[in-house]
Every structure is written in C-alpha cells, then in structure tokens.
Amino acid sequence: PRRILSGIQASGALHLGNYLGALKRFTALQDAAPTFVFVADMHAITVWQDPALLTAQTREIAAAYLASGLDPKKTVIFPQSAVRAHADLAWVFNCVARLGWLDRMTQFKEKSGKHKERASVGLYTYPVLQAADILLYKATEVPVGEDQKQHLELTRDIAGKFNNDFGAPGYFPLPEPVIQGPATRIMSLRDGSAKMSKSDPSDQSRINLTDDADAIAAKIKKSKTDMGVMPQVGESLDDRPEVRNLIAIYAALSDQTKDQVTAQFAGQGFGAFKPALADLAVEALAPVTAEMRRLMADPTEIDRVLKDGAERAAEVADPVVAEVKKIVGFWQA
C-alpha cells in the first residue's frame, strides 16, 4: 500500500525553498494516500538550537503545515521527538549502516565545514535517523527537495541491508523520493551556488514565510543578478545561476514553465522583472503567512494537532519497533 511521509527540521525560519520544494508538494499529495508529516526536532538539534526557540520553531513549522493546506484530520502531523520509536529504530539502523556509506554524504561535508572534528556525532549520523523516520511508517513515497536525494538512497540501502541481514525479505519497503516540479532546488538570493537554507546565517539569502510584503520586495530587489538583461528562450544560463534561480522561482510561483517565464520577460531589465517577481511572491505567500500568524498567536490549536498526531503516529510506529526488536533478537517479555 502507498504511504507518504516527509518532514521539515525545526532549525529556523521556514523559507520559500521549503514552501515550493516541500510544503506545497505535501498538500498536493495528501489526498493520494495516508500521509505522515512530522516536525524534525531531533534532526534540528544536530546543530545547536536554543531550547526556547526550538519549541517556538516546532510550533511554527506545524503552523506552516496547517497554513499551507494540510488537513490534520487526514494527515498525521506530529513532532518527531514525541514518538519514541524514532530513536529506538535509529539505534538499530546505526548498527546496520556502514561508515563508508555515511562518509559519502555531501550534506555532512557541507554542514560540518572546515572543522569536521567539531561537528556533533548527531550531524554525522543524521541520515540514519532519517531512514528510521521513513521506514518506521513503511513509507513508499517521500516528497523532498533535490538536496535530500542522497539521503533517500541511503535509506534504501539501509532497508535493503536490514531485510537481507535479518532474513526478512521485503520487511521494509524501499521508498521512492518524489522530487518534482520547477522548484526542487531554490538557491540563495545572495549566492547562486548555495541552496536557500534555514541555517544560512544571512537573512538576506532567503525569503522567510514570516516576512512581510516590504521585506520580500526589498530582498528580491537586492538579490544578486549580473550586468546582463533577462535571457532569450533557449539561451544557456549555466554561467548565470542567479538569473536561472529567479526565473525558477517565478515559474514555480505562477505554475508556469521556465520557458514561458523566459518568453514573457526576454530582453527586459531586472528593474522590470524583479518587482513583478516580488508582487508574485507576496501574493502567493500572504495568505499562508497570515494564517501562520493567526495560528501562532495562540498555540492551543497547534498543540492539540501535534498531540493528536503523536498519538496516531505512535499507533503505527510502535508495533513496527516491537517487530524489529523481535527480528533483531532483543529480549521481550
């Protein structure tokens, strides 16, 4: 049976990349099959998070799920740490995954930077926890941005090795990443070679879902471009990554192809294109932002959704962990 699962880290302010690459996709999929969407607070603490902020960020992400159209009656929305099974299964998977597999993960290399000896062990083993998040629910489809492709491949490797090592063929399904649409990798507004990220120290690098119209317009106006004008259809943008990125954002926000957007603005200056893009972004985000603000003003509703979601998630996850313990040979009363 099909089962859809995804999550977003409670590691900072949600941005346009999260919205286009993840949130919008979840909402589009939730009617297709049972859907589980969690707030990844355990992943978030792989880099330092202020405890009071972590709680607020967890609620903010839950608010974004609801504001972008996830229906808590259908979709199970929960905080990762509230379902103990995630940590239980992650330990078993830590013993299934190989160091050589994790050594290849590019996200660890990017996030740990020059001083990897100072990175947390959790940051290194993060993709193993992610495999547990997915396989606990025997998810078959995982809607994510392009940056998560490698982690999904690792999840498949872990599932395959577990099934094989313990003589349990097919126990864990091999999940498919769902990486679709024109906005699977939105880049920083300041640097066309870096992904737009919550953890980027520059607030100017991203459009936050909580930015107001003026902030959005100012950030787009100041976004990095080049000395040229808007390209013609068919022109290579390989050496104009910033321009390519802005066109991709425009296309995703207006549900058009990049070629349609290029045709519309071909030859024009950025002085014409940028305000049009800002208007479009404000128009698309304003209702989501307003609903997030409303929900966050009094977290009662959010907390109720998260608590109910945690209970429903545990109903699925706990029996899987019980089975895994048996398969592994852990003593059980």
Residue ranges at the known binding site for ATP:
9-11, 17-18, 145-147, 186, 195-199
The two structure tokens encoding residue 282: 């404000």
Dist. CA 50–CA 60, nearest whole Å: 15
Helix, strand or coil, per DSSP, at residue 52 = helix
Report the distance separating Cα 118 and Cα 221, nearest Å. 37
Q: Which of 4, 5, 17, 35 binds ligand ATP (CB under 6 A)?
A: 17
Burial degree of 224 (CB within 10 A; 0-12, 13-18, 19+):
middle
CA distance 185 to 195: 7
- Shortest distance, position 22 Cβ to ligand ATP, whole Å: 4
Rank residues 148 and 225 by Cβ distance to ligand ATP and give the closer one: 148
324 contacts ligand ATP (rule: CB under 6 A) = no
Of 119-127, 145-153, 156-164, 297-305, which segment contacts ligand ATP by CB under 6 A?
145-153
- The β-bridge partners of 187 are 195
Nearest-approach distance from CB 27 to ligand ATP, in angstroms:
13
Task: Give Rg (Cα) of the chain.
Answer: 21
Catalytic residue among 73, 74, 111, 138: 111
Among 5, 11, 96, 230, contact with ligand ATP (rule: CB under 6 A):
11
* Active site (annotated) includes residue 221: no
Should residue 198 be labelled a site residue for ligand ATP when binding is judged by CB under 6 A? yes
24 is catalytic: no
In whole angstroms, the minimum distance from the beta carbon of 206 to ligand ATP comes to: 8
Q: Is 5 among the residues that bind ligand ATP (CB under 6 A)?
A: no
* 9 scored as a contact of ligand ATP (CB under 6 A): yes
Could you give the 3-state DSSP secondary structure of residue 125? helix
- The annotation places the binding site at 9-11, 17-18, 133, 145-147, 186, 195-199
> Between β-strands 4-9 and 35-40, what pairing exists: parallel, antiparallel or unpaired?
parallel
**Residue with Cβ nearer ligand ATP (21 or 72):** 21
Which residues in the chain belong to E strands, given as ranges?
4-9, 35-40, 76-79, 141-143, 176-178
Nearer to ligand ATP, 96 or 143 (CB): 143
Query: Toward ligand ATP, which CB reaches closer, 80 or 262?
Result: 80
The verdict on whether 195 is a catalytic residue reads yes
For residue 8, what are the β-bridge partners? 39
Does the footprint of ligand ATP cover residue 18 (CB under 6 A)?
yes
Select from 197, 225, 262, 289 the one that contacts ligand ATP (CB under 6 A).
197
For residue 171, the Cα-to-chain-centroid distance in whole angstroms is 26
176-178 β-sheet, strand order: 76-79, 35-40, 4-9, 141-143, 176-178
The single-letter DSSP state of residue 231 is P
Q: Are 3 and 75 in contact (CB under 8 A)?
A: no
Q: Quick check: 212 and 50 in contact, CB under 8 A?
A: no
Which residues carry a binding-site annotation for L-tryptophan?
133
Q: Which is nearer to ligand ATP, 173 or 182 (CB)?
A: 182
223 binds ligand ATP (CB under 6 A): no
Is residue 40 within a helix (H) or strand (E), and if so which, with residue range? strand 35-40
How many chain residues are in contact with ligand ATP, going by CB under 6 A? Answer: 20
**What is the DSSP-derived secondary structure letter of residue 228?**
S
Among residues 149, 198, 221, 307, the one annotated as catalytic is 198
Of the residues 62, 63, 158, 196, which one makes contact with ligand ATP according to CB under 6 A: 196
Question: Which position among 4, 63, 144, 220 is part of the footprint of ligand ATP (CB under 6 A)?
Answer: 144
Please give the residue whose beta carbon sits closest to ligand ATP in the complex: 21
Please report, as ranges, the residues that interact with ligand ATP according to CB under 6 A: 8-9, 11, 17-18, 21-22, 144-145, 147-148, 183-186, 195-199
